[in-house]
Amino acid sequence: MAKIAVITGASQGIGRSLAHQIAKTGYKVVAGARSMDKLESLAGEINNAGGTAFALSLDVSDSSSIDNFKKEVEKLGIPSMVINNAGIGRFGPTDEVSREDWDIQLNTNLRGAFLVTKAFLPKMKRDQEGTIVFINSVAGIQPFSHSAAYVASKFGLRGFAAALREELREYNIKVISVHPGAVNTPFWESIPGEFPTEDMLDMDVLAENIVHNIQSPGNLTVEEMIIRRVGGDF
Ligand SMILES: NC(=O)c1ccc[n+]([C@@H]2O[C@H](COP(=O)([O-])OP(=O)(O)OC[C@H]3O[C@@H](n4cnc5c(N)ncnc54)[C@H](OP(=O)(O)O)[C@@H]3O)[C@@H](O)[C@H]2O)c1
């Protein structure tokens, strides 16, 4: 029976590319996000290409939405892979960051990843098998100015993943943090300013690389991946 992979924030960008790449390796993909129209078109593309995908509504900043998502996923089966990818960035000088913008970044990027992981963890522990992936950022290992909330959320996410990894070694569960540099996705469209998107990492090439590494067989795991342009950060 095909294994199930859950991917959050799969409606566009890196999550969407990951969904396509994971489906190609034979996983049934459960794609979650708020934009159901985009998710349904993604699931249609995967199913037409011979894969299997399901679109489910998910707001990772809302714990009742996560509870409902979990119930719907478990009607399809028990996931052996969870990819926490949903994330947002709001940038600016710290004295101009609103409490709402702080909260939404921490609630989406950090608390959301905790709650989604927690939802699927008991059955992975019971099965003594699983892979939990966190799509972090280079902002989770080095600071950038005008990015305090985003950097805080991603440093926090790296810490959460690292602690979880230690806790889950005895359960044979792989915990993987992925730290990409800037990637050409719609993420940059909502951020004021001009960005050299054409020179950023390609999301499909990135996703293919991530999917290869997170599926390392047996007792081997790539615990942290730092993936940059050869030319470095912008
Ligand atoms: N682009 C980059 O340069 C870059 C670099 C390093 C790391 N990353 C990280 O990679 C991840 C994906 O980024 P991206 O570039 O692909 O961004 P994107 O194009 O803006 O896509 C973000 C995805 O997250 C989903 N999302 C946002 N808030 C959500 C919520 N509350 N609940 C569920 N889904 C939510 C969005 O779906 P809906 O709006 O439909 O909910 C969308 O599918 C993020 O964690 C980001 O921090 C990005």
Q: Which pLDDT score, from 0 to 100, does residue 115 have?
A: 99
11 in contact with ligand 1, CB cutoff 6 A: yes
Residues of the chain with pLDDT under 70: none
Q: Which pLDDT score, from 0 to 100, does residue 90 have?
A: 97
DSSP secondary structure string, 152-186? HHHHHHHHHHHHHHHHHGGGTEEEEEEEE--EESG
Distance 9 CA to ligand 1 centre (A): 6
21 in contact with ligand 1, CB cutoff 6 A: no
- Please state the φ and ψ torsions of residue 70, each to the nearest 5 degrees: -55, -45
Query: Taking phi first (over 0 means left), then psi (-120 to 50 degrees means alpha), and beta for anything else, what does residue 50 get?
Result: left
Q: Domains of the chain, with CATH numbers?
A: 4-227 (3.40.50.720)
Q: Which pLDDT score, from 0 to 100, does residue 217 have?
A: 96
Distance 15 CA to ligand 1 centre (A): 7
pTM comes to 0.99
14 in contact with ligand 1, CB cutoff 6 A: yes
Residue whose C-alpha is closest to residue 196's, from 234, 139, 155: 234
Query: Taking phi first (over 0 means left), then psi (-120 to 50 degrees means alpha), and beta for anything else, what does residue 3 get?
Result: beta
* Ligand 1 atom nearest to 104, measured from its CA: 31
55 in contact with ligand 1, CB cutoff 6 A: no
CA 16, CA 180: separation in Å to the nearest integer? 16
Distance 84 CA to ligand 1 centre (A): 10
